[in-house]
Amino acid sequence: MTATIERVTANNKAPADTRVPAVQTTRDAETARTAGTARETATRYVLAGLRIALGWTFLWAFLDKMFGLGHETEAKAAWINGGSPTKGFLAFGTAGPFEGFYHGIAGAAWADWLFMLGLLGIGVALLLGVGTRIAAVAGGLLLVMMWTAVLPPANNPFLDDHLIYAGLLAVLALTGAGNTLGLGRVWTRLPIVQRLPWLK
């Protein structure tokens, strides 16, 4: 009988308190919060850096073709000297199923203007962190068109850097990358942007 009572008592004993002390729980929560904040901050700055780098890529292409800075475009072929920023590549560098289409628009004044304004607008928007949605759509369209100009790509059956850059532009627009190291927050507070959110 005594042994039975002892067994029942032993079975009914409260389990050892395995709860983490409140101080340690608070400390762990603060550590996790700090780590989360640090990761978020690092992510914002990495995306801002990528935005600026991609913006410079577009703007440099504009400057080189406009002024013939000698990197890819010689001075005599500069747009301000009467050269065409689209003729050389579209007339001689295209290949694949869209070759005929690109040959047809090579050197057309409207194509030159659209191409150059696109490079300038996308580059400036990304560098400043304003209008990233519009820049992402316009830049993505331009990059996909550049991808279709040479199919299949030289180093891969279907994928090249144009498509990767287009995907990166989408990420930059979706994450509000213009708010860090850019004027994105100021831009979104403008009355016209408030009325027309697609301008963000």
Q: What is the identity of the amino acid at 48? A: A
- Residue 8 forms part of a structural domain: no
pLDDT tens-digit map of 164-196: 999 999 999 999 999 999 999 999 999 999 999
E strands within the chain? none
Q: Residue 190 region, left (φ>0) first, then alpha (ψ -120 to 50), else beta?
A: beta
pLDDT at 12 over 70: no
- Residue 114 forms part of a structural domain: yes
C-alpha 78/C-alpha 84 separation (Å) is: 7
- Residue 125 forms part of a structural domain: yes
Of the candidates 180, 182, 187, the one whose C-alpha atom is nearest the C-alpha of residue 44 is 180
pLDDT tens-digit map of 131-171: 999 999 999 999 999 999 999 998 899 999 999 999 999 99
- Residue 17 forms part of a structural domain: no
Long-range contacts of 110-114 (CB under 8 A, 24+ apart): 111/86, 112/79, 112/84, 112/85, 112/86
- pLDDT band with cut points at 50, 70 and 90 for residue 29: low
Residues 6+ apart with CB under 8 A from 98: 148, 149, 151
The full length of the chain comes to 200
Report pTM.
0.82
CA-based end-to-end distance of the chain: 81
- Residue 148 forms part of a structural domain: yes
pLDDT value at residue 5: 43
- Residue 174 forms part of a structural domain: yes
pLDDT value at residue 154: 87
- Residue 105 forms part of a structural domain: yes
What total of structural domains would you count in the chain? 1
